[in-house]
Structure 1
Amino acid sequence: MHNSILYSEPLIRKDFTFPVSKDLTFNRNTQPNKTRISMQKGGSDSDGREFKSAEEMWREQVGEDQSKKTEWYREGVGYWEGVEASTDGVLGGFGHVSDADVRDSEAFLNGLLSELLPNAANSQRHLVALDCGSGIGRVTKNLLIRYFNEVDLLEPVSHFLETARESLAPENQMVSDMHKATNFFCVPLQEFTPEAGRYDIIWVQWCIGHLTDDDFVSFFTRAKVGLKPGGLFVLKENIARNGFVLDKEDRSITRSDLYFKELFRQCGLHLYKIKDQKGWPQELFAVKIYALTTELPKKVHRTRSKVQANRPAIIK
């Protein structure tokens, strides 16, 4: 996937970009057993080692020493710098899931645009998106550029970004002249601050796992400034069953749904809508798409989600 589960669009956790993004990640049997979630709860790493809490894991991985954090990010980008700039590369060998990923993302995006930006359908609003962890531009090319007049790409892995620039050149596009890839930022998420008030949607897929908790909160806090009034974030990520799973190879963490929701709270973001990715290979982590707003959703949306929350859930 475009932002892999890793950084650059990691599907298998190798499609995101954080340094690049990883898209999905293997659902290894290293996930903690019946561990409660949240940052105070336990998790494990890709070698099967267990941690009592996320705090313990982060203390070991980055501590309070800036050099250790720098090394964490350097190794993450370094991993993706060794990956081929192709759909199969950024998706960790699972390029065949790209169609299912785009299909579910498009359905989710259509709902958001009709509910939150209804005037967009009549071309009454110039729509601009930011693709974070854009990798080779897979998500931009197959989805975002068809709905947004301008798309900016943010990717720290230079050969991925150059592939995206070539792929998205006007002569290689099938979309109207009114839709284009505008800016290509070769910058990691943790160092990026968007232009104020530029974006209707900031799309973050398969790359946020490369950020530490502190940098996760810091990124979204800074990025809020980049949203237009009524704009929102879309986060699409791999989900751990419980707690978290640390991937030592690409320096990324797969968080549980509860872990994410606690971080959203710390960022001052509100959950507008959530959707499970369908048609996903069982050997991969489950994937969720979150729509997040900077203001509390209107009462009608809060009521709707409350009703849904009371419906019987399918136990997998």
Structure 2
Amino acid sequence: MDDVFGEESAFYSKAEDYWKQVSPTVDGMLGGYGSISSIDINGSKKFLQKFIGEGQGKTGTGFALDCGAGIGRISKRLLLPLFRTVDLVDVTQEFLDKAKVYLGDDSKRVENYFCCGLQDFQPQPGRYDVIWIQWVIGHLTDEHLVEFLRRCQGGLRAGGLIVIKDNVAYEGVVPDEVDSSVCRDLPLLHRLVQQAGLGIVCEEQQLNFPEEIYQVWTLALR
């Protein structure tokens, strides 16, 4: 995969530089597609509500982690309404600073704002009911994605769940030189999940997105 990712440190530093230039707004977080935010959140909520609550196979609603959180768009509209406490992790400090304002009163229920790339991030063991990873796995090499998912598995409470929601290529791996990321196809994503020692509990395609953007899939992992 070296021909796709290039020199590893440059792959990460270019991405950091790109996000430093992005406006700390919902439109900035969504690459100019701020209009899809509600469709995205509503789809995620329907997906997640299958798994949270009481009973066998359900996960609790105590702690959630928002990975690649940006200004907290997902925390504000999806995670904080469903979970008691949320942590945010993002590589861009300006976004996390903005999140403290953007989240309003709900920011009182955010315990930690971690400024860190996911390739280096270590979730606290046994802390989270749900770890939500959206539109950020393309910024990790295959090896680092597998290692990160393993660490996430260690960060789950009993019955906890990891959710990946991301762009999916129709075939192979599609690099993006602009933001220094890659888009993987579903078979490759399945293989990386398997390498991390996780199983796919459920997967669904997000519907009603504009035709010109990538297909987006949501995967629940345990």
What secondary structure sits across from 1:192 in the alignment? Answer: coil
Is 1:167 matched with 2:102?
yes
Gaps in structure 2 of 5+ consecutive residues: none
1:86 counterpart residue number? 25
Residue 154, structure 1, aligned to residue 89, structure 2: yes
Q: 2:57 aligns with which of 104, 109, 116?
A: 116
Q: Pick from 241, 252, 256: which aligns with 2:181?
A: 252
* Deviation, structure 1 residue 150: 0.3
1:99 aligns with 2:45: no
**Over residues 133-187 of structure 1, what are the superposed CA-to-partner deviations in whole Å (9 max), with x where a residue is unaligned?**
00110000011001100000001111111111122242xx4x9x8xx11110011
* C-alpha distance in structure 2 between counterparts of 1:116 and 1:142, whole Å: 24
| Pairing 1:278–2:207 present | yes
What's 1:26 paired with?
none
The structure with the largest alpha-carbon Rg is 1
The equivalences for 1:86-235 within 5 A come to 86-114=25-53, 116-117=57-58, 120=60, 127-170=62-105, 173=106, 180-235=109-164
Identity of aligned residues (%): 38
Q: What residue in structure 1 maps to residue 3 of structure 2?
A: 57
Residue of structure 2 in register with 1:17 after alignment: none
Letter in 1 for 2:126: G
- Aligned equivalent of 1:75: 14
Report the Cα distance in structure 2 between the residues aligned to 1:86 and 1:162, rounded to whole angstroms: 12
Find the aligned partners of 1:116 and 1:251 in 2 and give their Cα distance: 37
TM-score, normalised to structure 1, is: 0.67
Paired residues of 1:243 and 1:256 also in contact (CA < 8 A): yes
Matched residue SS, 2:150: helix
Secondary structure of the residue aligned to 2:124 is coil
Return the letter of the residue paired with 2:142.
D
8 Å CA contact 2:152–2:162 kept in 1: the answer is no
The structural deviation recorded for 1:70 is 1.4
Letter in 2 for 1:84: S
Assess if the C-alpha contact under 8 Å between 1:132 and 1:207 holds in 2: yes
Amino acid across the alignment from 1:88: D
Deviation at 1:76, TM superposition (A): 0.3
Under a length normalisation based on structure 2, what TM-score does the superposition of the two structures give? 0.95
How far apart, in 1, do the equivalents of 2:174 and 2:131 lie? 25
Q: What is the count of residue pairs matched by the alignment?
A: 220
Counterpart of 1:239?
A: 168
**In 2, Cα distance between the equivalents of 1:247 and 1:81?**
17
Residue ranges of structure 1 left out of the alignment (5+ in a row): 1-54, 63-67, 121-125, 294-316
Residue type of the partner of 1:104?
Answer: G
Return the offset for 1:57. 2.4
CA contact (8 A) 1:168 1:181 kept: no
In 2: Cα distance, 1:283 partner to 1:93 partner? 13
Bigger relative contact order (CA 8 A; separation at least 6): 1
